[in-house]
Chains A and B, each alone.
Chain A
Amino acid sequence: MEQLALFFALLFLTVLGFILGKGRAVALSGQSDQPLHSRLPYYGLYTAIWCGLPSLLIMAGWMIFEPQIAEILVKSQLKEANQSLSADQLSLYINDVINLASGGILSREPDESILEAAESYHLFKQISYFAMAVVAISVSLVTLFGSLRKISPTLRARNKVEKVISVIMMISSLIAILTTLGIVLSLIFETLRFFEKVPFFDFIFGTHWSPQTALRSDQVGGSGSFGAIPLFAGTMLITFICMVIAIPVGLMSAIYMSEYAGKNFRAFAKPVLEILAGIPTVVYGFFAALTVAPFFRNTGTMLGLDVSSESALAAGAVMGIMIIPFISSLSDDVMNSVPQSLRDASYAMGATKSETITKVIIPAALPGIVGAILLAMSRAIGETMIVVMAAGLAANLTANPLEAVTTVTVQIVTLLVGDQEFDSAKTLAAFALGLLLFVVTLSMNVVALKVVRKYREKYD
Chain B
Amino acid sequence: MSSAMDMQNFNIINDPITSEPKIIARDVNVFYGASQALKSINLDIGANEVTSLIGPSGCGKSTFLRCLNRMNDVIENCMVEGRINLDGIDIYNSGLDPVLLRARVGMVFQKPNPFPKSIYDNVAYGPKLHGTVSNKDELDERVEKSLRRAGLWDEVKDRLDKPGTGLSGGQQQRLCIARAIAINPEVILMDEPCSALDPIATAKIEELIDELRKRFTIVIVTHSMQQAARVSQKTAFFHMGEVVEVGETDKLFTSPQDDRTQGYITGRFG
| A, B assembled together | yes
Residues of A within 8 A of B (CB): 263, 339, 341-352, 355, 359-360, 363-364, 458
- Cβ of B165 within 8 Å of any chain A Cβ, yes or no, is yes
Residue of A nearest to B107 (CB): A348
The 4 closest A-B pairs by CB, nearest first: A350-B103, A348-B107, A350-B102, A341-B113
Residue of B nearest to A458 (CB): B116
Mask, B93-115, CB within 8 Å of A = 1, is 00000011111001101010111
Inter-chain pairs besides A347-B74, A349-B125, 14 sampled, C-beta below 8 Å: A341-B113, A342-B113, A344-B71, A344-B109, A344-B113, A345-B113, A348-B107, A349-B106, A349-B179, A349-B180, A352-B99, A359-B125, A359-B129, A364-B116
Taking the closest CB of chain A, its distance from the CB of B168, in whole angstroms, is 17
Taking the closest CB of chain A, its distance from the CB of B137, in whole angstroms, is 22
Instruction: Count A-B pairs with CB separation below 8 Å.
Output: 63
Taking the closest CB of chain A, its distance from the CB of B132, in whole angstroms, is 11
A458 / chain B contacts, CB cutoff of 8 Å? 116, 165
Query: Given known contacts A363-B116, A364-B115, A364-B116, is B125 in contact with A348 (CB within 8 Å)?
Result: no
A351 / chain B contacts, CB cutoff of 8 Å? 99, 125, 129
B103 / chain A contacts, CB cutoff of 8 Å? 349-350
Interface of B is mostly: helix
Taking the closest CB of chain A, its distance from the CB of B150, in whole angstroms, is 15
Check B109–A360 contact: CB distance below 8 A: no
Which of B106, B111, B183 interacts with A341 by CB under 8 Å? B111
Q: Give the CA-CA distance A231 to B149 in the complex, in Å.
A: 62
* B100, B109, B125, B179 pick with most chain A CB within 10 angstroms: B125
21 sampled A-B residue pairs with Cβ under 8 A: A263-B76, A339-B113, A341-B109, A342-B116, A343-B74, A344-B109, A345-B109, A345-B114, A347-B102, A348-B102, A348-B107, A349-B103, A349-B180, A349-B183, A350-B99, A350-B100, A350-B101, A350-B103, A350-B130, A351-B129, A360-B115
- Cβ of B260 within 8 Å of any chain A Cβ, yes or no, is no
Residue of A nearest to B113 (CB): A341
Which of B106, B115, B129 interacts with A355 by CB under 8 Å? B129
B114 / chain A contacts, CB cutoff of 8 Å? 345
B176 / chain A contacts, CB cutoff of 8 Å? 345
B179 / chain A contacts, CB cutoff of 8 Å? 345, 349
A346 / chain B contacts, CB cutoff of 8 Å? 115, 125
Q: Give the CA-CA distance A363 to B117 in the complex, in Å.
A: 9
B82 / chain A contacts, CB cutoff of 8 Å? none
Mask, B49-74, CB within 8 Å of A = 1, is 00000000000000000000101001
Q: Give the CA-CA distance A349 to B180 in the complex, in Å.
A: 7
A349 / chain B contacts, CB cutoff of 8 Å? 102-103, 106, 125-126, 129, 179-180, 183
Taking the closest CB of chain B, its distance from the CB of A83, in whole angstroms, is 82
B101 / chain A contacts, CB cutoff of 8 Å? 350
Taking the closest CB of chain B, its distance from the CB of A26, in whole angstroms, is 47
Q: Give the CA-CA distance A351 to B115 in the complex, in Å.
A: 13
Check B129–A344 contact: CB distance below 8 A: no
A342 / chain B contacts, CB cutoff of 8 Å? 113, 115-116
Q: Give the CA-CA distance A339 to B100 in the complex, in Å.
A: 24
Q: Give the CA-CA distance A363 to B76 in the complex, in Å.
A: 25
* B69, B109, B113 pick with most chain A CB within 10 angstroms: B113
Which residues in chain B, 166-204, are within 8 Å of chain A measured between CB atoms?
176, 179-180, 183
B106 / chain A contacts, CB cutoff of 8 Å? 348-349
Taking the closest CB of chain B, its distance from the CB of A368, in whole angstroms, is 12
Check A350–B165 contact: CB distance below 8 A: no
Which of A339, A341, A350 interacts with B129 by CB under 8 Å? A350
Check B129–A348 contact: CB distance below 8 A: no
Q: Give the CA-CA distance A346 to B179 in the complex, in Å.
A: 10
